Amino acid sequence: MDNESQKLDLSRHQKSRLLGLGIGSKPRELSTDKVEQKTDMLYDILTRTLPVDPSVVNSLPDVVRGLSSGLQSLAGLPIGDLLQDPTTDIATIKKIKQYAKDSGTSTSSETESDVFLVVYYAAIASALVFHNEKITQHSYKDIKQFFSSFIEKGWVLEEIKGLFHGAQTYCRRIAKVADNPGE
């Protein structure tokens, strides 16, 4: 390895995948522990952009439609940035939530399902923290428990844990108001 590749802040799993892409082989899973694997997967998802809406792709001319897999999302920013930005509109947060739900339920991998569940609840937390809006039918008590459980996970990134902490505070405040409506 040259000095430039040593400056990159990548995990072993990420370096291996990049090497596999470089030599044209399919990426293969390293025998890393589940915590590192989940952390890497969560990071990968949070650095992606939302997929382009299929209706937009279908509206493109045939010549361009074939290139549509290279198009960036209309949102443009990575999912993690959108979730942590107070100016992200609620419609985009709902799209992230739906994307995570669809992706998590369509996978057969338990690891991938767990990671998409974190992104799903991070979208709910973002809506609560930045928009004071509950975008789920789960009770405040239930979502607060989910936030707590994700805060305990060693593989959840600190930035996302910060969102969960903020959402827990919001849920506590709502519960306090519900318990003492006259105060």
CA distance 83 to 181: 31
pLDDT of residue 168: 95
Most confident of 32-41, 58-67, 127-136: 127-136
Q: What is the pLDDT of residue 110?
A: 93
Q: What is the pLDDT of residue 19?
A: 55
Q: What percent of the chain has pLDDT over 90?
A: 58
Q: Are 120 and 104 in contact (CB under 8 A)?
A: yes
Domain boundaries along the sequence of the chain: 31-179
Strand, helix or coil for residue 44: helix
Global pTM?
0.72
Contact 170, 128 (CB under 8 A): yes
Q: Is the pLDDT of residue 26 over 90?
A: no
If you average pLDDT over every residue of the chain, what do you get? Answer: 80
Give 134-137's long-range contacts (Cβ < 8 A, gap of 24+).
Answer: 135/90, 135/93, 135/94, 135/97, 136/97
Position 124 pLDDT exceeds 70: yes
> pLDDT higher for 130 or 27?
130
Give the tens place of pLDDT for each residue, 33-42. Answer: 889 999 999 9
Per-residue pLDDT tens for 131-158? Answer: 999 999 999 999 999 999 999 999 999 9
Q: Please determine, for residue 54, whether its predicted confidence score (pLDDT) is greater than 60.
A: no
Give 20 or 132, the one with higher predicted confidence: 132
pLDDT for 147: 97
CA distance 138 to 166: 17
Q: What pLDDT is recorded for position 71?
A: 52
